[in-house]
Each structure stands twice: as C-alpha cells, then as structure tokens.
Chain A
Amino acid sequence: GNSVTQMEGPVTLSEEAFLTINCTYTATGYPSLFWYVQYPGEGLQLLLKATKADDKGSNKGFEATYRKETTSFHLEKGSVQVSDSAVYFCALIPFGNQGGKLIFGQGTELSVKP
C-alpha cells in the first residue's frame, strides 16, 4: 500500500543550525510529494511540493528534492530560526488516485532554541 514514514521527533536545534527531517515513502508509480507545516495553534499550511522525480520544491528557505531512486523527500534548511518551531508533515498523493487523498506521515516536531 501507500505510506509515508518520517523521522521521529521532537527535534531540538539551536538557532542558525542546519535542519534535516527525513521522509521516505512507499507508493506505486510516481506520487506527488508535499511538506505541510503546522505552527502552534494554527492549521496545516502547504510548505512546498514536488510532482515528479528530481524536482526540487522550495519555500521560506526550506528545500526538498524528490528522489525516486531512494523513495525519499527529505526536508532541509540551512539556518533555522525560532519562528520555524512547528510540526512538519510529509505527505503524498498516489499517482492516478481518483480521490486525490493525501496520505500523511506521523509528523515531526521541531523546536528551535535561541
């Protein structure tokens, strides 16, 4: 079946540290891949996406590259800020999925300390 696995949190970093949140997936064909972010007290927001192999999604200094060979979509940021503290969700929509149903990972909480 289709599934998404993320690294467990919480991840605690100091401001300006380098961030990697690992995400791997299982799916047939070429799914579309997403990172959503949930800031404290707010709803999920789309952070970035990639729809085909080798695409790189980027937004707000975050990047993720669609790697078909390793079935991965790791989230990276070169220098995190306190305001990046949130829960990050990796998700996919399977190719050809008639319902367009997003399948989510379990989420990774990031805490950035000053």
Chain B
Amino acid sequence: GAGVSQSPSNKVTEKGKDVELRCDPISGHTALYWYRQRLGQGLEFLIYFQGNSAPDKSGLPSDRFSAERTGESVSTLTIQRTQQEDSAVYLCASSPSRASGANVLTFGAGSRLTVL
C-alpha cells in the first residue's frame, strides 16, 4: 500500500481481556517495527521483524505481549490479559530493509488502546 496502515485506530477494552492490533506495512518493506507511546512520554521500542523472523524482541514488556508476522506483510501485536498500564498508542513502522541513516522508518498513524 501507499503507507503503513494500522487497525483498529481506537480500541477500548476491559482489564483482563485480550487485544490484537494489526499492522500492514508498505509493500516490499522487509523490516517492521512496533513501538509504544504512553501519554506524555517518548516512544518505547517493542519488537523488530526482518521478514517473518524477530531478531530483536528486547522491548516486549512482559510475556503477555507477543507479535507475529506473516512473510513480509501483515504483523499482529497481541496483548493478553490487558492491564491499565497497557493503555497507550501502539505505533508500527516499516522500512525497505534494516533501518539506518539511509533507510528511514515510515510510521503508521497508530492504534490507541484504552484499558478500563
């Protein structure tokens, strides 16, 4: 597609429920990143995919968080048993290959998650 698409744009859920957030990267982009942006804070790295493998999962905050990617396309971030501290905007980004000074990240508009 023309840009990085994320869905849903807004999700309100009850504490303890599971949620799935979807990212559709730019066609042909092999690298895909998930970040989390809490209110008034910077972006926290969650996970990086190169193709459908995840060489860096170091940012996932707990085992309630997982992500997968099908080939070089859609990725899903799953949060199980959501907690109120999971409330944030979850941002997805992609780049033609591993991001560098030359390969910049293109971000989606984000999925805003609110856990009541």
Where the two chains meet, the residues of A that have a C-beta atom closer than 8 Å to any C-beta of B are 4, 32, 34, 36, 41-46, 49, 51, 89, 91, 93, 98-107
Contacts and interface: CB of A to CB of B under 8 A. Distances in A.
A43 B31 contact: no
A43 B104 contact: no
For A41, A43, A45, A51, the residue with the greatest tally of chain B CB atoms inside 10 Å of its CB is A43
A95 B98 CA distance: 13
A102 B43 CA distance: 9
Interface of B: 4, 31, 33, 35, 41-43, 45, 48, 55-56, 91, 93, 95, 98-110
Given A32-B101, A49-B101, A93-B101, A102 B45 contact: yes
A89 B91 contact: no
A9 to B, nearest CB: 10
Given A43-B91, A91-B43, A98-B98, 8 more contacts: A32-B101, A43-B4, A93-B99, A100-B31, A100-B98, A100-B103, A101-B56, A102-B33
Contacts of A105: 42
8 A-B pairs with the lowest CB-CB distances in the bound complex, closest first: A100-B99, A32-B101, A51-B101, A106-B42, A100-B98, A44-B107, A43-B109, A104-B43
Given A51-B101, A93-B101, A101 B4 contact: no
Contacts of A107: 41-42
Contact of B42 (A49, A89, A101): A89
B88 to A, nearest CB: 13
12 contacts: A43-B4, A43-B91, A43-B108, A44-B91, A49-B101, A51-B101, A89-B43, A99-B48, A100-B31, A100-B48, A100-B103, A101-B48
